[in-house]
């Protein structure tokens, strides 16, 4: 039976980082397939993951936990037929919930060995009130407190306490029986998403659930959430300092920026990663498409327009707005 893991967690918490590091560290001898669903339609994570693994299927243009359930299932079948993997990892977008994906995998006869929710220990306070974030915790059985290098022990304890409280409140239940679906859960810690191998050894395998799909009512949460994204292309190659200038001028409403940008001063295109005030850059080989930045946050349209006015190398696509 094919094994699978679902990776969930809010925007920018470190899911792609975990996948990149985990597969390298623990699964170099296995045939691994990765399915990644990005928030929106641009494959930044897909490009990063493809640099590390050969089998990466991107499902974009929507959310696999609601609008794209069917596309997700056919994607899984496609990857099984083409590649015959031993393990499938599904990285859900930071704006989806894991439970519908869990049901889809089980419907396809795939064993779910764990639903992992990555929590950003540094920025948890900034997003813990978001309802999707709560359902991500409630729908998982392995909670990983990541970015532990950025917090003190006391801060980490406080996050852990909050996470447990949310887990208890949002732990998903079978609406027919009233019983908890994930009876047990564990809380782990990580830095750069690296967790102990035990997490991936199937000790937290989730029991099969039968006949529950119709009972899950929170479908199409994207209709209610106020998180939006705006895609911006860059006209020309720019100086690295310009990228920095953009990130330093972000208003509070924009809490996540991803992108791949070609600069005049760095040989390879750089991957930009900005989450809640922290930024990082990494070079990416083999990227030949246009420079792009994706801004994600709450009600950000006007703020992104202002940024584009201020930095004239930022160019809003005229006919392109997702979500």
Ligand X SMILES: Nc1nc2c(ncn2[C@@H]2O[C@H](COP(=O)(O)OP(=O)(O)OP(=O)(O)O)[C@@H](O)[C@H]2O)c(=O)[nH]1
Q: Which of 8, 34, 37, 45 binds ligand X (CB under 6 A)?
A: 45
Note whether 6 and 88 are within 8 A (CB).
no
Residue ranges in 21-40 that form contacts with ligand X under rule CB under 6 A: none
- Cα 251 to chain centroid, rounded: 22
Please tell me what DSSP assigns to residue 283. Answer: E
Q: Which residue's CB is nearer to ligand X, number 106 or number 297?
A: 297
Q: Which of 3, 4, 17, 229 binds ligand X (CB under 6 A)?
A: 17
Q: What are phi and psi of 5, to 5 degrees?
A: -130, 140
Would you count residue 6 as binding ligand X (CB under 6 A)? no
Say if residue 34 is exposed, middle or buried (CB neighbours under 10 Å; 0-12, 13-18, 19+): buried
Note whether 284 and 263 are within 8 A (CB).
no
Q: How far apart are CA 233 and CA 125, in angstroms?
A: 31
Q: Considering the complex, what minimum distance in angstroms separates the CB of residue 18 from ligand X? A: 7
Q: Which of 50, 128, 167, 256 binds ligand X (CB under 6 A)?
A: 256
Residues 199-238: x where in contact with ligand X by CB under 6 A, - otherwise, as a string = ----------------------------------------
Would you count residue 94 as binding ligand X (CB under 6 A)? yes
Would you count residue 116 as binding ligand X (CB under 6 A)? no
Q: Calculate the CA dihedral of residues 36, 228, 252, 91 and round it to 10 degrees.
A: -10
Q: Which residue's CB is nearer to ligand X, number 242 or number 279?
A: 279
Determine the size of the site formed for ligand X (CB under 6 A): 21
**Rg (alpha carbons) of the chain, rounded to whole number:** 19
Residues 163-192: x where in contact with ligand X by CB under 6 A, - otherwise, as a string = ----------------------------xx
Window of 11-19, 124-132, 162-170, 232-240 that interacts with ligand X by CB under 6 A: 11-19
Note whether 72 and 101 are within 8 A (CB).
yes
For ligand X, the binding residues (CB under 6 A) are 9, 11-17, 45, 94, 146-147, 149-150, 191-193, 256, 273, 275, 280
């Amino acid at each position: 039976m094919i094994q699978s893991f679902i990776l969930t967690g809010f925007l920018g918490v470190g899911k792609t980082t975990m996948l990149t590091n985990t597969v390298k560290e623990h699964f170099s001898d296995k045939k691994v397939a990765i399915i990644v669903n990005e928030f929106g339609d641009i494959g930044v994570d897909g490009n990063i993951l493809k640099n590390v693994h050969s089998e990466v299927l991107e499902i974009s243009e929507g959310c696999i936990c609601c609008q794209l359930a069917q596309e997700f299932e056919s994607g899984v079948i496609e990857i099984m037929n083409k590649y015959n993997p031993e393990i499938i990892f599904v990285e859900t977008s930071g704006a989806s919930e894991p439970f519908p994906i869990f049901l889809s995998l089980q419907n396809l006869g795939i064993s779910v060995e764990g639903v992992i929710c990555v929590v950003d220990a540094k920025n948890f306070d900034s997003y813990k009130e978001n309802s999707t974030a709560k359902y991500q915790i409630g729908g998982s059985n392995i909670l990983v407190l990541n970015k532990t290098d950025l917090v003190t022990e006391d801060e980490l304890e406080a996050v852990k306490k909050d996470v447990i409280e949310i887990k208890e409140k949002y732990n998903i239940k079978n609406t027919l029986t009233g019983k908890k679906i994930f009876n047990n859960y564990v809380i782990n810690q990580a830095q750069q998403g690296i967790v102990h191998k035990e997490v991936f050894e199937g000790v937290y395998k989730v029991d099969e659930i039968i006949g529950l799909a119709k009972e899950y009512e929170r479908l199409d949460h994207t209709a209610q959430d106020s998180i939006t994204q705006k895609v911006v292309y860059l006209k020309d190659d720019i100086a690295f300092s310009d990228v920095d200038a953009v990130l330093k001028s972000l208003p509070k409403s924009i809490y996540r920026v991803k992108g791949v940008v070609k600069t005049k001063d760095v040989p390879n295109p750089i991957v930009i990663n900005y989450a809640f005030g922290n930024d990082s850059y990494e070079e990416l080989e083999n990227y030949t498409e246009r420079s792009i930045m994706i801004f994600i946050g709450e009600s950000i349209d006007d703020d992104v327009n202002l940024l584009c006015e201020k930095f004239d190398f930022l160019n809003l696509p005229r006919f392109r707005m997702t979500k």
